[in-house]
Amino acid sequence: MAAEHVIVGLSGGVDSAVSAWLLKEQGYRVSGLFMVNWAEDEEGYCTSAEDFQSARAVADELSIPLHRVDFSAEYRSRVFEHFLAGYQAGKTPNPDVLCNREVKFQPFREHALRLGADFVATGHYARIEHSASGPRLLRSADENKDQTYFLAAVARAHFERVLFPLGNLTKPQVRELATRAGLPNHQRKDSTGICFIGEREFRAFLAQYLKPNPGAIEDDQGRIVGQHRGLMFHTLGQRRGLAIGGQAGAREAPWYVIGKDLARNVLIVSQDTAHPRLLSRRLSVQNFHWIRRPEPMPAQLQARIRHRQMLQDCSAMIDAQGGVEVRFAQSQRAAVSGQYVALYDSAECLGSGEIDRVVSESLAG
């Protein structure tokens, strides 16, 4: 009987390389597929070409075929345009969540299956449990590297025939396996940030696509303390890049963004690190995506509003239209629309949704 065929998303990084090696060790017939999600720019900030060379070296070492496919058009229309629209609307979007939902587990998965794969695999730190009732997404054994937050918006059906070989491993174990296997990228640094931005300054990149709209910076008493170049360049809780130090009558302490007044185009700041406008216990999502909706809903769940945040105790109330209100046991700092909130029932990730409304403690009754 022929070995089952797995196509691994080879990114050029050590995680996907070890995933391919592990699957080959387990007896699968393995192929690699390298995705181009962003066309190289003239300034060379995106490392796609370098990543491909690394993926090819891994494929050569493992003696597996490597396919290359260009999804940059899908990425631009499904991820990047949403990213720009979010910032234009004063939100803080998360392109990594959209990339997984709109590219890695749609066109990538479909392309791999067309190439004859029985399964597809990636180097995500997550676990997946396949059962007769459908797949369940579970947190990684390495809590520090767990990536279920980025996967929580993926449709449940798109987890069918998906494998996560690293789900029960820690990052140090993965590095050790890469060294033991002699993989050529075993010492390669993990990628950070977003490919299309790379190492360049974020505001400079965003200004290429969104027209600056300068306005006043006010403190929490309504006094003008500076000028901003555009609300899209700032997010709640931000400390750096405000250029408003040395205010007469103010303490020698950092300033933090505590709000945006979109109607007046005003950025609001404070030197109070625990200002009520920075804190919230309630947020709502109009269109929550359930990977698996438990019935009945547990009285207590856990949630996170950003990657690597410790799980926070909460409850979830579902309205007649399918919207979800999340109420936290403890105050959350700098929750903002455009981010995603992911819900968990112990080890299981139940799904996520883009935050539409945050009730700050300055407004909560």
- Any idea where the domains of the chain sit in the sequence? 5-181, 211-270, 276-360
DSSP state of 339: B
Stretch among 193-207, 240-254, 267-281 having the lowest mean pLDDT: 193-207
Instruction: Say whether pLDDT at 101 is over 70.
Output: yes
Return the pLDDT at 188.
85
| Residue of 247 and 188 predicted with greater confidence | 188
Give catalytic status of residue 314 as yes or no.
no
| CB atoms inside a 10 Å sphere around CB 142 | 18
Mean pLDDT of 307-317: 96
Give catalytic status of residue 349 as yes or no.
no
Structure tokens at 68: 């290359």
8 A C-beta contact, residue 72 and residue 38: yes
Structure tokens at 279: 């804190």
Structure tokens at 33: 């597929």
Instruction: Say whether pLDDT at 159 is over 80.
Output: yes
CATH superfamily of 211-270: Adenine nucleotide alpha hydrolases-like domains (2.30.30.280)
Instruction: Say whether pLDDT at 249 is over 70.
Output: no
pLDDT tens across 47-73, in order? 778 889 999 999 999 999 999 999 999
8 A C-beta contact, residue 156 and residue 291: yes
Q: How far apart are CA 90 and CA 316, in angstroms?
A: 26
Return the pLDDT at 215.
96
Instruction: List Cβ neighbours of 351 (8 Å cut-off, separation of 6 or more).
Output: 152, 153, 288, 289, 290, 291, 292, 293, 342, 343
Binned at pLDDT 50, 70 and 90, residue 193 comes out as: low
Q: How far apart are CA 232 and CA 155, in angstroms?
A: 30
Instruction: List Cβ neighbours of 74 (8 Å cut-off, separation of 6 or more).
Output: 102, 103, 106, 107
8 A C-beta contact, residue 348 and residue 279: no
8 A C-beta contact, residue 353 and residue 289: yes
Global pTM value:
0.92
Instruction: Say whether pLDDT at 41 is over 60.
Output: no
Task: For 125-136, give the DSSP string.
Answer: S-EEE--TT--E
Name the residue among 99, 95, 109, 96 with its Cα closest to residue 158.
Answer: 109
Structure tokens at 333: 């700092």
Average pLDDT across the chain, whole number:
91
Q: How far apart are CA 97 and CA 339, in angstroms?
A: 9
User: Tokens 């995680």 sit at which residue?
Assistant: 15
Q: Please tell me which residue in 46, 195, 314, 349 is annotated as part of the active site.
A: 195
Binned at pLDDT 50, 70 and 90, residue 304 comes out as: very high
Binned at pLDDT 50, 70 and 90, residue 1 comes out as: low
Q: Terminus-to-terminus CA distance in the chain, angstroms?
A: 66
Instruction: Say whether pLDDT at 364 is over 60.
Output: no
Q: How far apart are CA 56 and CA 50, in angstroms?
A: 10
| CB atoms inside a 10 Å sphere around CB 123 | 22
Residue 340 in 3-state DSSP? strand
Binned at pLDDT 50, 70 and 90, residue 206 comes out as: confident
Instruction: Say whether pLDDT at 237 is over 80.
Output: yes
Element (H, E) at 284: strand 279-285
CATH superfamily of 5-181: HUPs (3.40.50.620)
Instruction: Say whether pLDDT at 42 is over 50.
Output: no
Return the pLDDT at 118.
97
Mean pLDDT of 77-90: 92
CATH number of 276-360: 2.40.30.10
| Residue of 9 and 212 predicted with greater confidence | 9
* Dihedral sign (CA 50, 233, 256, 86): negative
Radius of gyration of the chain from Cα atoms?
A: 22
Binned at pLDDT 50, 70 and 90, residue 2 comes out as: confident
Stretch among 202-211, 327-336, 343-352 having the lowest mean pLDDT: 202-211
Return the pLDDT at 363.
62
Q: What percent of the chain lies above the pLDDT cut of 70?
A: 93
Instruction: Say whether pLDDT at 194 is over 80.
Output: no
Binned at pLDDT 50, 70 and 90, residue 279 comes out as: very high
Q: How far apart are CA 177 and CA 74, in angstroms?
A: 34
